[in-house]
Amino acid sequence: MINIFLTFCAGGAAALLFFKMKVPGGMLIGAVCGTVALSLATGRAEMPFAAKFVAQVSAGAFIGCSVSVRDIMALKRMRAPAAVVILSFLALDMILGLALYSFTSLDAITALLSAVPGGMSDVPLIAFDMHADVAEVVVLQFVRLCMGIGFFPAWIAWMYSRKRGGAAEAAAEPDAQPEEKATLTPLSVAAAFFTAAACGFAGLKLHVPAGALVFSIAGTLALKLLGIPAALPKRFKRFAQVLSGTYIGCSIGAEALRDIPQLVVPAVIIVAAYMLNAYAAGNLLCKKFGIPFKEAMLMVPPAGASDMALISADIGVHSPSLVVMQIFRMLMAASVFPQICYQITKLF
């Protein structure tokens, strides 16, 4: 019990430091680094399985709570662009994952999950359940996230400045009415968490790969679609990220750290592939569906869905369609893509 407490304190302190330093994905990355440091220094890092389960259930609950009936209705008029976005990401994941497996030292499931366009809060936990190399997945997902936040907005601005000499761009879609948010009450919090926990436990018992996460998403999403208030406070999400990071950090030892320099080539390949996909799919969305160029590029970004709201505002894009697209992408990346990856690895 003392080891668990020390691990949580070390991970939590580093997570808070990274968060204050505004490191991308800082809560999870900081918790991983703090736990690894404790493990290497004392060998006392320890976290129970319950920590992973709570983290997965919390991640699933937050994803499910982020979707509303209005979002689902909005997808009906955007089904063609949504299909392009999801299929482009799926093709990218499959091609990139198989290329990394064929030409680098990554095993099949690690390569495929490293290329999944998901978030730092859920993909590493999925990697655990699917027996991938979690350290490699965390590093490669972190590189993609940093590139998406740090370089991608400037690249879009540069591309847009080059295109301004051509035809005028269509006006961006005006902001929709403010999204109705579930009131954060004890009842709505309890409904979200306990529904996610019950569904996540069912997924665990059914032995579905990443079942706790997938089923908790489905359960919370069902609550929202039924009109039942469901919400979780941001502080709880950060707590879950610390749990997730400490659990991941306990599995990373000195040998895994020594292998990190070998990830330079896979990281470069992932960055290049995501940039190429953003350019190709973004231009297709712009030309085929008349979506403004910057908005189209932001629909297929390297960064996580939750980061797009900040990035889009920074470069002057305010579009409810973009928000809906990112929510849909987040759902697919957390629930469907990993299952496809898992089935593909059975062929090897």
Q: Give the domain extent around 172.
A: 59-232+262-345
Is residue 50 domain-resident? no
- Residue 89 has what pLDDT? 96
* Separation of alpha carbons 288 and 160, rounded Å: 18
Is residue 134 domain-resident? yes
- Residue 172 has what pLDDT? 46
Is residue 240 domain-resident? no
Q: Which residues of the chain are modeled with pLDDT < 50?
A: 167-180
- Residue 98 has what pLDDT? 94
**Backbone dihedral region for residue 25 (phi beyond 0: left; psi -120 to 50: alpha; all else: beta):** left
Q: Please, which residues have CB within 8 angstroms of residue 212's CB and are 6 or more apart in sequence?
A: 53, 56, 57, 60, 129, 200, 201, 203, 204
Is residue 30 domain-resident? no
Domains contained in the chain, number: 1
- Residue 311 has what pLDDT? 65
Confidence (pTM): 0.78
Is residue 249 domain-resident? no
* Separation of alpha carbons 297 and 299, rounded Å: 5
- Residue 224 has what pLDDT? 85
* pLDDT tens profile 53-68: 988 898 888 878 877 7
Is residue 268 domain-resident? yes
- Residue 157 has what pLDDT? 82
- Residue 314 has what pLDDT? 63
Is residue 31 domain-resident? no
**Backbone dihedral region for residue 68 (phi beyond 0: left; psi -120 to 50: alpha; all else: beta):** beta
C-alpha pair distances (Å), 260 with each of 132, 135, 266, 280: 15, 8, 11, 30
Is residue 11 domain-resident? no
